[in-house]
Structure 1
Amino acid sequence: MYRYNLFTKIVSIMVIMLIPITILYFYSNKTTTDVLRTELNTSNSNQLSFFQNQVESNMELLSSWPILLIHDPDILSLKDTYLKGTHLNLDAINLIKRIQTKISIQESSSNWKSKLYLYSPSIHRMVSENDAIPYSDEDLKREVKSGWHVEKIAEQDGDHFVFSWFSFTPFMSEFSPKKVNTIMKVEFDSRNIEDMLDKFKSDGRRDPFYYKQGTGLIFNRSADKLLAEELVERLEQEQLRQSENRTVNIKGESYSVNIVYSDKMGWYLIDYMPLSEILHPIQTSNRLFYFAIGALLLMSCLVAYLLYVQVQVPVRLLVGGFQRLKQGDYSTRVEIKGKNEFSFLSGRFNSMVEQIQMLIENVLMEKIHVREARLKQLQSQINPHFFYNCFSFITSMAKLDNMGAVVGMSHNLSRYYRYTTRQERDLVALSEETEFVTHYLEIQKMRMSRLQYEVHIPQQMRKRDLPPLVLQPLVENAVIHGIEPVSKEGLVRITGSCNGRVMVLTVDDDGKGMTPEEIIELENKLGKAMDEEMGCGLWNVHQRMRLRFGEDAGLTIAPSPLGGLQVKLQWLLPLTDNNTDDI
């Protein structure tokens, strides 16, 4: 009962205290992680958008060059130049030289490596920084497209892309090489974007790259191309939005992916980062927290165990000693361990029990003799009570010359007398007590012909032992005080019942009875010392039963269902009774 009581309580209290702390930490940790991921995604998206704007600004700058150069006076005058043959004349050569110089200046004005081309339908030549060569109208018509046009070029070191932009005058909805005056083309290589991606990555990004479905990918030069391609395959499983964040799992690793779409380029800028890198500080903090919780719980268990050994065990031994002492084991002793307050208490307990044991041994025999003497005295008070009335009846019947009544009375009286003279025993069988009461009732029935009686006691109950002369005083009270005072026929009923160890004998009569106040007064007198106003019959029975069977035994009085008085005699069989299983 007490073995792990204190230990369990202390550990339980510590666990209960740690549970809300752990729950609060988990909630705080989850909130922190969510906020961190949200802020990180927002920051990543903002940085990607800023980078995207830089790329778009460079592309817008390049796309504005053709518009500026188309209005150059030399380029405008080129449309009025016509060749008489296939070779350029001196004026045309000088004009082209000036245009090439302006193209070179324009190309060098940007950080991006780009090229400008001028297509002149009048001389049917394509003018670049270093050359002026003829071109085919069919090829030109096939190349010219609105917006930025991307052409994929495969090389040994990997694929790259050429971006081109065409402007022409006058503007027309459907391009025709023969109807325009001037065509300008600007183009740049994707290596310019790769340079910017390299610089962007050096600022702390993971592996940014550009992606356009059906076209390809533009990587930074140190990118993990296989991982990026697998990442794109996972992203293509769902439709990409213009700006979003996703978590993608690849080979057991989760990645936080940020995506920004460029309306001007038509490409997606994608950057990714392993969540393990993002959450590494939080995971480290979690491990430290778990370690601290585990260490605290371990220390709590250690402290609880020390308290259990130093406090609970000595207290448990003392409590066990008191429990055994309560059960009557006066030979019990508590083992003394160590030298502390509990060892002092254990020593004093042992001394106390030893003194109690000596007192019990000295007083026990004297107490037993006193109880036996008191039982004999109470029994002697009951034995002469009935004989006075019997001899008076015999005398009366003899005077009336009623020899049958004299013989019947003498017979029953002799059986009665034989029973009482043999009562040196402390206990008799209930069957003998019942036979004795039957003789008594036969005697009373001879005196009062209107008296009837019934006896209903189970056979298994008749085997039980009880003190002698405890049932007869109850029946006598029913006859003398219940039946005799009234003139009608009278009935005395004796019943027995047993429920486990509980034995009950009930005596009912249909006589005079008692008021509730008289019943309460009589029950109160049963528990007190006998006085001169009270008869000794019921009091003796009540006291003898309590002395023999304990405080739960004795008499209870109540109105009878027959109309008179009901007296119950109840007692509890001892646990050592060998015949309890027969009930």
Structure 2
Amino acid sequence: MVILLIPITLLYIYSNKTTTDVLRSELNTSNSDQLRFFQNQVETNMELLASWPILLIHDPDILSLKDEHLELGHLNLHTMNLIKRIQTKISIQESSSNWKSKLYLYSPSLQRLVIENDVTTYKNADLLQEVKAGWQVEKLQDQSGDRFRFSWFSFTPFMSEFSPEKVNSIMKVEFDSRNIEDMLDKFKSDGRRDPFYYKPGTGLIYNHSADLLFVNKLVRRLEQKQIMGSENRTLDIEGESYSINIVYSDKMGWYLIDYIPLSEILQPIHNSNRLFYISVSALLLMGSLIAYLLYIQVQVPVRHLIGGFQRLKQGDYSARVELKGKNEFSFLSGRFNTMVEQTQELIENVLMEKIHVREARLKQLQSQINPHFFYNCLSFITSMAKLDNMGAVVAMSHNLSRYYRYTTRQERDLVALSEETEFVTHYLEIQGMRMSRLQYTVNIPPKMLKLELPPLVLQPLVENAILHGIQPLAEAGRVRITGYCSGKVMMLTVEDDGQGMNAEDRAELEGRLGRPMTEEMSCGLWNVYQRMRLRFGDQASLSFTASPLGGLQATLQWLLPPNQEDKR
């Protein structure tokens, strides 16, 4: 179920991402279009106000004002009536727009500033500083916060470089940023957020309900990366992601900015995602429950059966499968247990027969050692008697009696290595009497002397070293017996300084140990190898290498059985 749900989940995630991207793209496009529409409305109002000075400056009354002059520094009656008519026209023009605006008429010939309800003087120097091309913005401050005053100048005749003394009439239209704020309030009433105007280095124009603290944070984030005209951005502010739409006005030089939290936009998608993931989790939970029931009802019984067969395959005939419930698996388990019980009984009967055969073979192999060594001893006694060496005969007879005392007590299958070592020492003493140049050393760790092994496995190795290694070589005469133990690995080495054997002969000798005994094969070595293999299994070995003494080194190696680990 997990494998099936993975591609479904991946496909849903891809589809959801595609839907989200399309939604955000369409929403950004829609927001940008609405902002541009609002921007056009603002620009239309500003263009309308900017057209007023152009229209009024060509009014006949205003055009005739250039021909009026002061008389003794005062206005005459005709001029005052003319100004009254002009003020009426200015008042009518100001009231024709929804925006609160104000018109100013400058008369260079009279040096008077005419407004709706007043006439004042002005200075050409001040006017020269004010008159500039395009909309001019002046920042004002009052108790409610920053405000901005927009103004537009028009004069006649037109000239590339403005000069108050050379123009006939000058008109200025002026409006307050509160007009834009009112439009922002109406724009927000359509369900939008809090759009605002921003101009770097100048300030902000926002509606009356705007969160000024958040707007300032947003502007600071925007200033971290230069604003490149109209664009869309996504910013993280106070742990919340916002979609930012920016529209630039070429006529105003201001940016109209709107922001919407993505959580509000994507809330329906998030709800759909939550429902989908809950459904997937429920499916996984139900699938896990079904899988658990299948595991308990099917897989566990099958595993128990397989485990029973594996144990049976490894030779464990005590394996049994526990019966649970009354179903097909309990029937199979019962038949399996019956089969194993019958097989175990059969195997035990066969093993008992094999044990009896093995014990008989061990007795047979052990009996082959006794006469072999006995014949050698009798031959030595005969030789010493012919030489009238009665001391050697007595010593040999004494050691031979000890030998028979040792061998006649070998109803045991295993003897301690200490007893075997003592027996080999008697044998070496006998050989030392027959061969005066013979010297021997025995170095076996005390912890190995307690170990048990088949009797008469060390003496044939020593005998082989003396008869086939030292005896044929006149200058040879050293025998060294050493014991080693490493973990469960036990080793006994018997080495001499005799004539030794080359590598090919050593390999041939080791190969003959595993084959049936022939006349050319040494009875003692073959006997030792076979008895060690029967007693300690296939891990037991008898190998031959060159000895550091110069002759041959025989190594007897076996693994310590578990029942002898406490004897080390």
- The interval holding the TM-score normalised by the smaller chain is 0.7 to 0.9
Measure how far apart 1:335 and its partner are. 0.7
Q: 1:137 corresponds to which letter in structure 2?
A: T
Partner of 2:398: 411
| Structure 1 residues 411-455: Cα deviation after superposition (integer angstroms, max 9, x where no partner) | 222222222222222222222222222222232333333433332
Answer whether contact 1:164 1:185 (CA < 8 A) is retained: yes
Verify: 1:395 aligned to 2:420, yes or no.
Answer: no
CA gap 1:65/1:404 in 2 versus in 1, 3 angstroms? same
Once the two structures are superposed, residues 372-405 of structure 1 have per-residue CA deviations (whole angstroms, 9 ceiling, x without a partner) of 2222222222211122233233334334433222
CA contact 2:112–2:122 (8 Å) conserved in 1: no
Distance 1:478 1:191, change over 3 A: closer
Whether 2:563 is the aligned partner of 1:579: answer: no
Aligned partners of 1:363 and 1:543: how far apart in 2?
22
Q: Which residue of 1 aligns with 2:219?
A: 235
Residue 224 of structure 1 pairs with residue 209 of structure 2: yes
CA distance in 2, matches of 1:549, 1:248: 80
**Cα distance in 2 for residues equivalent to 1:62 and 1:353:** 108
Whether 1:135 and 2:119 are equivalent positions in the alignment is yes
**Letter matched to residue 261 of structure 2:** P
Counterpart among 29, 42, 66 of residue 79 in structure 1: 66
> Aligned with 1:538: secondary structure?
helix
Q: Secondary structure at the match of 1:555?
A: strand
Structural RMSD (CA)? 4.5
The counterpart of 2:48, out of the listed 61, 67, 75, is: 61
Q: Give the whole-Å Cα distance in 1 for the aligned partners of 2:410 and 2:329.
A: 55
Residues 467/59 of structure 1: CA separation in 2 closer, same or farther (3 Å cut): same
Trace 1:112-127 onto structure 2 (pairs within 5 A): 116=103, 118=105
When structure 1 is superposed on structure 2, of 195-204 and 327-336 the one drifting more is: 195-204
* Other structure's SS at 2:538 match: coil
Deviations 1:330-386 (A, max 9, x none): 443211234556445423321222012212443444333322222222222221112
> Could you give the per-residue CA deviations for residues 63-115 of structure 1, whole angstroms, max 9, x where no partner exists?
233223323444323433568886745x9858965x67876886688675656
Match of 2:469 in 1: 482
Q: Structure 2 length normalisation: TM-score?
A: 0.80
Is the deviation greater in 42-51 or in 26-35?
Answer: 26-35
- Alpha-carbon deviation of 1:124? 8.2
1:383 aligns with 2:370: yes
Deviates further, 50-59 or 140-149:
140-149
Quote the offset at 1:261 in angstroms. Answer: 5.4
Change (3 A) 1:438 1:187: closer
Residues 208 and 448 of structure 1, relative CA distance in 2, 3 Å threshold:
closer
Q: Distance in 2 between matches of 1:233 and 1:392?
A: 117
Task: Check conservation: 1:261, 1:267, Cα contact below 8 A.
Answer: yes
Indicate whether 1:500 and 2:487 are aligned. Answer: yes
Distance 1:201 1:237, change over 3 A: closer
Higher deviation after alignment, 483-492 or 375-384: 483-492
Question: Relative to structure 2, which stretch is displaced further, 481-490 or 144-153?
Answer: 144-153
State the match for 1:335 in structure 2: 322
Distance in structure 1 (CA, Å) of the matches to 2:366 and 2:500: 27
Between 1:67-76 and 1:346-355, the stretch displaced more is 67-76
Instruction: Please state how far the C-alpha of 1:290 moved relative to its aligned partner.
Output: 3.9
Equivalent residue letter for 1:224:
S
Compared CA separation, residues 108 and 242, structure 1 to 2 (3 A) = farther
Contact preservation (8 Å) 2:438, 2:478:
yes
**Distance in 1 separating the partners of 2:148 and 2:375:** 141
Change (3 A) 1:59 1:385: same
Give the share of equivalent positions with the same residue, in percent: 71
Separation (CA, whole Å) in 1 of partners of 2:10 and 2:450: 69
Of 436, 445, 450 in structure 2, the residue corresponding to residue 458 of structure 1 is 445
- The whole-number CA distance in structure 2 between the counterparts of 1:161 and 1:544 is 115
2:439/2:477 contact within 8 Å kept:
yes
Separation in 1, partners of 2:379, 2:176: 148
The 2-side partners of 1:377 and 1:411 are apart by 27
Question: Which consecutive unaligned segments of at least 5 residues does structure 2 have?
Answer: none
Q: Distance in 1 between matches of 2:191 and 2:562?
A: 88
Q: Distance in 2 between matches of 1:541 and 1:376?
A: 13
The structural deviation recorded for 1:502 is 2.3
For residue 425 of structure 1, the aligned residue among 403, 408, 412 is 412
Deviations 1:25-80 (A, max 9, x none): 87997798678767765765565455434423432332233223323444323433
Give the C-alpha shift of residue 264 in structure 1.
4.6
Residue pair 2:112, 2:120 contacting (<8 A) in 1 also: no
Name the CA shift for 1:354/1:115 in 2 (closer, same or farther; >3 Å). Answer: same
- The residue identity in structure 2 corresponding to 1:308 is Y
Q: Is the 8 A contact 2:111 2:122 kept in 1?
A: no
Residue from 406, 412, 436 that aligns with 1:449: 436
Contact 2:108 2:169 in 1 (8 A): yes
Cα distance in structure 2, aligned partners of 1:241 and 1:393: 118
> Structure 2 vs 1, CA of residues 54 and 488 (structure 1 numbering), >3 Å: closer, same or farther?
same
**Alpha-carbon spacing, 1:248–1:383, altered in 2? closer, same or farther (3 Å):** closer
SS at match of 2:411: coil
Query: What are the Cα deviations for residues 466-486 of structure 1, in whole angstroms up to 9, with x where unaligned?
Result: 221111222222222333334
Question: How far apart in 2 are the matches of 1:115 and 1:47?
Answer: 29
Aligned to 2:512: 525
SS at match of 1:135: strand
Counterpart contact for 1:81–1:92, Cα < 8 Å: no
TM-score, scaled relative to structure 1: 0.78
The Cα of 1:219 is off from its aligned counterpart by 4.5
Give the counterpart letter for 1:209 in structure 2.
Answer: F
Q: Which amino acid aligns with 1:235?
A: V
Match among 16, 30, 39 for residue 52 of structure 1: 39
1:350-369 matches, cutoff 5 A: 350-369=337-356
Deviation at residue 23 of structure 1 after TM alignment: 8.6
CA distance in 1, matches of 2:151, 2:33: 28
CA distance in 2, matches of 1:336, 1:352: 15
Asked if 1 retains the 8 angstrom alpha-carbon contact of 2:66 and 2:107, the reply is yes
2:402 is paired with a residue of what secondary structure? helix
Check 1:120–1:456 CA distance in 2 against 1; reply closer, same or farther (3 A cut).
closer
Deviates more, 1:568-577 or 1:228-237: 228-237
SS of 2:482 mapped into structure 1: strand
Distance 1:255 1:533 in 2: 100
Q: 1:142 to 1:575 in 2, by over 3 A?
A: same
Aligned residues, how many?
Answer: 558
Q: 1:548 to 1:238 in 2, by over 3 A?
A: closer
Please show how residues 91-490 of structure 1 align to structure 2 within 5 Å: 116=103, 118=105, 135-138=119-122, 145-146=130-131, 147-148=135-136, 163-169=150-156, 181-188=168-175, 190=177, 192-194=179-181, 196-197=183-184, 200-201=187-188, 205-210=192-197, 218-220=205-207, 224-225=209-210, 227-228=211-212, 230-232=214-216, 235=219, 241=227, 243=229, 253-260=240-247, 262=249, 264-265=251-252, 267-288=254-275, 290-291=277-278, 294-295=281-282, 297-299=284-286, 301-322=288-309, 325=312, 330-338=317-325, 342-490=329-477
Distance of 1:318 and 1:365 partners within structure 2: 29
